[in-house]
Amino acid sequence: MITLNNVSLNLEGKQILNNISLNVCEGKTAIILGPSGAGKSSVLRVILGLWRPQKGTVIIDGEDITNKSENQLLHVRRKMGMVFQGNALFDSLTVAENVCYFLKEKENLTEKEISFRIKESLEFVNLEGTDDLYPAQLSGGMKKRVAIARALAFKPCILLYDEPTTGLDPINAKSIVELINKVKESGTTTIVVTHILQDAIILGDKLTLMNNGKIVETNTVDNLLNSSNNFVQDFFFEINQELKILKHKSVI
Amino acid sequence: METFTKILSGLQNYTLFVKDIIRGMFRCFKYKDDALREMYLIGAKAFLVALGGGLFVGIILAIEVGHQLELFGAKTLIGRTVSLGMIREIGPIITGLLLAARTGAKNTSELGSMQLSEQIDALRAFGTSPVDRLIVPRVVAALIMFLPLTLIADITGILGGMFITITTFHMDVSFYWHSALDALLLKDLFVGFLKPFFFAFFIATISCYYGIYTKGGTTGLGKNTIKAVVSSSVAVLVIDFIFTKVVWEVM
């Protein structure tokens, strides 16, 4: 469904991605993990065609989009939904208008169908009754939910999340993770980019760890925990320590 | 050398940006509601700015010119000077400069904050062209609204001149109007009414360009807003110079 072959990206003379290869099959979930500045969000931007790589190919649903123009990319982008790190909600529009913004623009739906989609999407993210509120009137967690509802309203076959729980309190973060899991169950191909290890472990069986624009290792959580790679060991240090404490307690 | 390369690269990007806008203008009916909203914001809401600007410039012009003409006993020429000055030069320039500040700052700050909060990326990600959706309505609105605003400035400027002629120089109102209208030729009206379209196009495209290419957080947004207002104002003066030169040389 999504394939990146040896993708390299330079922006303003700085190497952002270095020979990245990634393959996500239809209906599967990929978790991209790594510290800030590792190039995780850039991978999503390359997949969306917002940034064009200098080397390598990007294939979405069997179509090579690497060198497509903005107009040629439109129909490919309509297959994808994106939840931005900062939510990217339109401040001047209400929640309902944000959710239906792209529906009105792109789909040939009647007003009744659009209202149904708004209701359906907001119910899915547990935000019934917030239709007339503006983004400024919402909490961080609620904004994130609206961003997810907006991406879902489209009924995309690919959903991309950029740091979905960053900046949220633990309760809201947990509910967003649960929501992402709920969306995954519907068979949507998902890519989640995060630097929060706990979220990554809950959301995916197989994790891709990135650092300095390169993929360090792609493996299951168990294998990563036992990896001999120094960077992987450093990144998983805290979790390993917690696991050791838990094991120690269970022995006692 | 680096600065020169930077300027050239900026001009190249701006040209490509303008090309996209011109292409997008053929699809402008798709977002007519946005264009109407922008017309209200940059046109109707700027009514008082144009009215006040035009009125006071007309008054100042009449006072300054009147005192000089009085020395030669040529007070009857006040109307002629004010009407020609307002219609050909000062009306369009003062409206252009006021709108470069007002509309330029509005466009750059709005689009810049949308760029910084990823809203423009969101538009692209969901398959909508930011140029068609955000820029073209602003440019179309400016092209439509700048002429009426300039007319308001012209008319109020001439009325301001009339007020001064009557109250300060104690002339008959009919003398003023006769002198003011008699001086105006078709080419003066043509030049005076053509300028606002060029001013509108450059103010709107320059300010949108700086807005949509905002980088570097709030500091970058502040810098780009200043650049947009300064560049738009300079563009107004340069275009006006070109028009004036061409008119005196050719027409």
Please write the tens of the pLDDT for every residue from B107-164. Answer: 999 999 999 999 999 988 888 889 999 999 999 999 999 999 999 999 999 999 999 9
Provide the percentage of residues in chain B whose pLDDT is more than 70.
100
Average pLDDT along chain A? 86
Q: Which residue in chain B has the smallest CA separation from A72?
A: B127
Could you say which of B117, B119, B125 has the minimum Cβ distance to residue A48?
B125
Q: Which residue in chain A has the smallest CA separation from B128?
A: A74
Could you say which of B119, B122, B128 has the minimum Cβ distance to residue A105?
B128
Calculate mean pLDDT across residues B28-34.
Answer: 86
Residues from chain B contacting residue A71 (CB–CB below 8 Å): 129
Nearest-Cα distance to chain B for A89, in Å, is 7
pLDDT band for position A176 (cuts 50, 70, 90): confident
Q: Which residues have C-beta within 8 Å of that of residue B152, sequence separation ≥ 6?
A: B47, B50, B51, B54
Interface probe with A: pick from B126, B128, B132, B135, most Cβ of A within 10 Å: B126
Strand order in the sheet with A2-11: A14-24, A2-11, A55-60, A63-64
Tell me how far CA of residue B129 lies from CA of A107, A138, B9, in angstroms: 15, 28, 23
pLDDT digits (tens, 9 = 90+) for A23-74: 998 888 899 998 888 899 999 999 999 999 999 999 998 899 998 888 888 8
- SS3 call for B172: coil
Could you say which of A50, A89, A90 has the minimum Cβ distance to residue B124?
A50
Nearest-Cα distance to chain A for B234, in Å, is 29
Q: Which residue in chain A has the smallest CA separation from B119?
A: A88
| Six-digit token string for A223 | 């294998």
Residues from chain A contacting residue B129 (CB–CB below 8 Å): 70-71, 74
Helix axes A111-124, A95-106, angle to 10 degrees: 130
Q: Output the pLDDT for position A84.
A: 92
In a domain, B78, yes or no: yes
Q: Output the pLDDT for position B168.
A: 92
Q: Output the pLDDT for position A124.
A: 87
**Beta-carbon separation of B119 and A48 below 8 A:** no
Residues from chain B contacting residue A81 (CB–CB below 8 Å): 126
Q: Which residue in chain B has the smallest CA separation from A150?
A: B126
Residue A161 CA to residue A180 CA, distance in Å, equals: 9
Nearest-Cα distance to chain A for B118, in Å, is 5
Could you say which of B122, B127, B128 has the minimum Cβ distance to residue A84?
B122
Could you say which of B121, B127, B129 has the minimum Cβ distance to residue A84?
B121
| Six-digit token string for A191 | 């890519």
The correct CATH number of A1-79+158-172+179-252 out of 3.40.50.300, 3.40.50.9100, 3.30.465.10, 3.30.1360.20 is 3.40.50.300
Interface probe with B: pick from A41, A97, A105, most Cβ of B within 10 Å: A105
**Beta-carbon separation of A77 and B125 below 8 A:** yes
Q: Which residue in chain B has the smallest CA separation from A79?
A: B126
A23: left (phi over 0), alpha (psi -120 to 50) or beta: beta
Q: For chain B, how many structural domains are there in total?
A: 1
The domain locations on chain A are 1-79+158-172+179-252, 89-155
Calculate mean pLDDT across residues A193-198.
Answer: 88
pLDDT digits (tens, 9 = 90+) for A84-125: 988 899 988 899 999 988 887 766 788 888 898 899 889 888
Residue A182 CA to residue A204 CA, distance in Å, equals: 13
Range of the domain at B41: 28-245
**Beta-carbon separation of B121 and A50 below 8 A:** yes
Could you say which of B122, B128, B129 has the minimum Cβ distance to residue A88?
B122
- SS3 call for A3: strand
Listed in order, strand segments (DSSP E) in A52-117 are 55-60, 63-64, 80-83
Could you say which of A75, A90, A105 has the minimum Cβ distance to residue B119?
A90
Q: Which residue in chain B has the smallest CA separation from A151?
A: B126
Q: Output the pLDDT for position A35.
A: 87
Q: Which residue in chain A has the smallest CA separation from B127?
A: A74
- SS3 call for A159: strand
Residue A212 CA to residue A39 CA, distance in Å, equals: 7
Q: Output the pLDDT for position A92.
A: 86
The answer to whether B158 and B83 have CB atoms below 8 angstroms apart is yes
In a domain, B229, yes or no: yes
**A to B CB pairs, distance under 8 Å:** 51
Predicted confidence (pLDDT) at residue B92 exceeds the cutoff of 60: yes
**Beta-carbon separation of A75 and B127 below 8 A:** yes
